[in-house]
Amino acid sequence: MATFFGEVVVAPSRAGLDEEEEAREETPEDREIRRELEKKRYRKIDVQWTWQAGGSAQEPLVCSRFIVAIGRNAAAFLSSFILDSVCWEVVGVVKLWNEWCRTSSTTNVLPTDSFCLFYRLISDPTVLLCQCSCYVAEDQQFQWLEKVFGCMQKKGLQVTILSTCPVADYKTQESTLTLVSPFLRALKTKEFQEQVCCPLLEQPNIVRDLPAA
């Protein structure tokens, strides 16, 4: 659709459900391919912890602070400024597959790999960090969430989520060309009582996908 200025904006289909979709004729081969794809996606979200860390539904990980970096930029920020092999150790990995990426099977990853790793601060093992540079598809986000947080004790837990969005997506009265970027914005729950280091995200901006989940 064209905006008032004339540039063409791709508006994704809003209705979502096409009636024809349900009655679609599928060949047996299509059906088989679809079933295999679904099995691969849903079966393959797997959270594995190293034996020292523990972490399971029966024996939840004791965690006071959990920092999650989602996306390549946020993951790179942690790699550059926070993580090092002296103070942090790898304690877990999430393995998943979707049509856009497959997570790397090693913990010795390159910045260009897709991976989702958990680290623990050696001096304070209740501080956990997650670097998630792989793309988690929308139908896998809920499962990722349940599997990761299902392993953790939630009482007294403070969660910080780091992610990035393109400046072009930021809605503001002025043009984004005149904005000084990069800039920070935050969203917080009402239980978070500490000082936030930057302004809160103004309406009508929203956050989507895994950070939102």
Partner 1 sequence: MFIPCDRGGDSAAPDFKGFTLLMPAVSVGNVGQLAIDLVISTLDMTKVGYFYTDCLVPMVGNNPYATAEENSTELSINAEVYSLPSKKLVVLQIRSPFIKNKYRPFCETLLSWVKSSKCARVVLLSSSHAYQRDDEQLLGTPLRYLLTPDLQEAVGGRMKELNWKEMEKVAAYPGISDTDKVLHIPGGGITKLLFTESCSEGIQMAVLLKFCSEGDNIPDAFVLVNYLNEWLQLIKSEVSTIHNSMDPSSPWKIPSSWRLLFGNGLPPALF
> Closest distance between partner 1 and the C-beta of residue 57, in Å?
18
> Closest distance between partner 1 and the C-beta of residue 105, in Å?
27
φ and ψ at 47, to 5 degrees? -100, 120
Ramachandran bin of 55, using left for φ above 0, alpha for ψ from -120 to 50, beta for the remaining angles: left
Q: How many other CB atoms are there within 10 angstroms of residue 170's CB atom?
A: 15
Tell me which residues in 144-203 interact with partner 1 (CB under 8 A): 170-178, 187-190, 200-203
Burial of residue 22 (number of CB atoms within 10 Å: 0-12, 13-18, 19+): exposed
Q: Which of 8, 10, 19, 86 binds partner 1 (CB under 8 A)?
A: 19
Distance CA 148, CA 115 (A): 15
- Sign of the Cα torsion 29, 24, 44, 57 reads negative
> Closer CB to partner 1, residue 20 or residue 84?
20
Over its C-alpha atoms, the chain yields an Rg (Å, rounded) of 20
Asked if 209 touches partner 1 (CB under 8 A), the answer is yes
- Per-residue burial over 63-84, b if 16 or more Cβ lie within 10 Å, else e, is beebbbbbbbebbebbeeeebe
Asked if 130 touches partner 1 (CB under 8 A), the answer is no
> Closer CB to partner 1, residue 59 or residue 139?
139
Tell me which residues in 24-63 interact with partner 1 (CB under 8 A): none
> Closer CB to partner 1, residue 8 or residue 110?
8
Collapse the DSSP code of 130 into the 3-class scheme (helix H, G, I; strand E, B; otherwise coil) and give the result: strand
Asked if 143 touches partner 1 (CB under 8 A), the answer is yes
> Closest distance between partner 1 and the C-beta of residue 13, in Å?
8
φ and ψ at 120, to 5 degrees? -130, 140
> Closer CB to partner 1, residue 101 or residue 213?
213
Stretch that binds partner 1, among 56-64, 73-81, 99-107, 205-213 (CB under 8 A): 205-213
Judged by CB under 8 A, the number of residues near partner 1 is 43
Site residues (CB under 8 A) for partner 1? 1, 3-5, 9, 11-12, 14-17, 19, 138-139, 141-143, 170-178, 187-190, 200-210, 212-213
